[in-house]
């Protein structure tokens, strides 16, 4: 329970990678603040499960992170409840796919606000508490798209590249404060979001399940294996350890070789 008495805020933790990170951090004793959208009853079940596993407290914030006021309220609530956020996992993110000359302006604004600017706001608001305690871990879920581009993903690629730049800057500014700031950059991760695309793609393209997985989804991923949410969470957990203190300003690729090409 090496995270006992630490508090972790994980944005976008009602599903997927964020939920796995919240579970992993709680299992090592951290208080957890969950955030994201979803069915209130299901979220309450998750919150209670996570609280029970941690031996500490778990709270839930329904803050919409495209709103600066909502982020500020969430960070105030976190400070009121726990004094400070020790571990900040900026993970909430969305995608939209369209050619740049047809990219809906509101989708551009949404993706930049959520996938990039929200991390700036949570970081600027968490840092004073981390500095006061002389310890902090900032972990940003970037993507293989923080290292390489794909067509039709201009906003996502721009936001994820920007997130890496923000992370490097924060790492330099906090280098002597006991705080580290890093990105984890997964390739394709096996989430329900990915799984749900398979039947439609099979039908639309007349392909088998295996063809959709290997030739469409995993076309760029040399291992032909999806990254799992548990693998990403284990990496986040490692970054919280004292042994990981020298990792700062890093962008950790866990993409089955995608960006080695």
Residues with a known catalytic role: 156
Judged by CB under 6 A, the residue of 3, 9, 10, 16 near ligand NAD is: 16
- Interacting positions 101-120 with ligand NAD (CB under 6 A): 114-115
Establish if 92 lies at the interface with ligand NAD (CB under 6 A).
yes
Q: How far is the CB of 19 from ligand NAD (least distance, A)?
A: 7
Q: How far is the CB of 177 from ligand NAD (least distance, A)?
A: 26
Establish if 122 lies at the interface with ligand NAD (CB under 6 A).
no
Judged by CB under 6 A, the residue of 7, 31, 91, 221 near ligand NAD is: 91
Closer CB to ligand NAD, residue 176 or residue 261? 261
Contacts of range 110-117, beta carbons closer than 8 Å, 24 or more positions apart: 110/66, 111/155, 111/156, 111/159, 112/155, 112/158, 112/159, 112/162, 113/65, 113/66, 114/65, 114/66, 115/155, 115/156, 115/159, 115/160, 115/163, 116/158, 116/159, 116/160, 116/162, 116/163, 116/166
**Residue 161: both structure tokens together:** 């590249």
Q: How far is the CB of 9 from ligand NAD (least distance, A)?
A: 12
Question: Residue 29 has what DSSP assignment?
Answer: T
Piece of the chain touching ligand NAD by CB under 6 A; list 77-85, 189-197, 204-212, 241-249: 189-197
- Secondary structure of the chain: what % helix, strand, coil (to 5)? 50, 15, 35
Establish if 8 lies at the interface with ligand NAD (CB under 6 A).
no
- Interacting positions 133-162 with ligand NAD (CB under 6 A): 141, 143
Piece of the chain touching ligand NAD by CB under 6 A; list 14-22, 52-60, 96-104, 246-254: 14-22
- Interacting positions 41-70 with ligand NAD (CB under 6 A): 64-66
How far, in Å, are 92, 248, 249 from residue 173 at the CA level?
24, 11, 10
- x/- binding map, residues 201-230, to ligand NAD, per CB under 6 A? ------------------------------
**Residue 9: both structure tokens together:** 């805020």
The string over 107-120, giving b where at least 16 C-beta atoms fall within 10 Å of a residue's C-beta and e elsewhere, is bbeebbbbbbbbbb
Q: How far is the CB of 178 from ligand NAD (least distance, A)?
A: 26
| 58 CB burial (10 A radius; 0-12, 13-18, 19+) | buried
Instruction: Point out which residues bind ligand NAD (CB under 6 A).
Output: 12-18, 35-38, 64-66, 91-94, 114-115, 141, 143, 186, 188-189, 191, 193
């Amino acid at each position: 329970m090496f995270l006992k008495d630490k508090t972790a805020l994980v944005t976008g933790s009602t599903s997927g990678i964020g939920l796995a990170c919240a579970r992993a951090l709680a299992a090592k004793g951290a208080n957890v603040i969950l955030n994201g959208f979803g069915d209130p009853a299901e979220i309450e079940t998750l919150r209670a499960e996570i609280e029970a596993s941690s031996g500490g407290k778990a709270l839930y914030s329904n803050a919409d992170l495209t709103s600066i006021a909502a982020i500020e309220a969430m960070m105030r609530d976190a400070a009121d409840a726990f004094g400070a956020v020790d571990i900040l996992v900026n993970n909430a993110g969305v995608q939209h796919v369209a050619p740049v000359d047809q990219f809906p302006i509101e989708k551009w604004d949404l993706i930049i606000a959520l996938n990039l600017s929200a991390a700036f706001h949570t970081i600027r608001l968490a840092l004073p508490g981390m500095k006061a305690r002389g310890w902090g871990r900032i972990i940003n879920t970037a993507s293989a798209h923080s290292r390489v581009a794909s067509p039709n993903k201009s906003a996502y690629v721009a936001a994820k590249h920007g997130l890496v730049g923000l992370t490097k800057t924060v790492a330099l500014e906090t280098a002597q404060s006991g705080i580290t700031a890093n990105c984890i950059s997964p390739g394709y991760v096996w989430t329900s979001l990915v799984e749900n695309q398979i039947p439609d793609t099979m039908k639309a393209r007349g392909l088998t399940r295996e063809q959709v997985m290997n030739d469409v989804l995993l076309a760029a991923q040399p291992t032909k294996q999806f990254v799992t949410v548990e693998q990403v969470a284990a990496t986040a957990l490692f970054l919280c350890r004292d042994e990981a203190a020298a990792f700062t300003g890093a962008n950790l690729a866990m993409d089955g070789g995608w960006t080695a090409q």
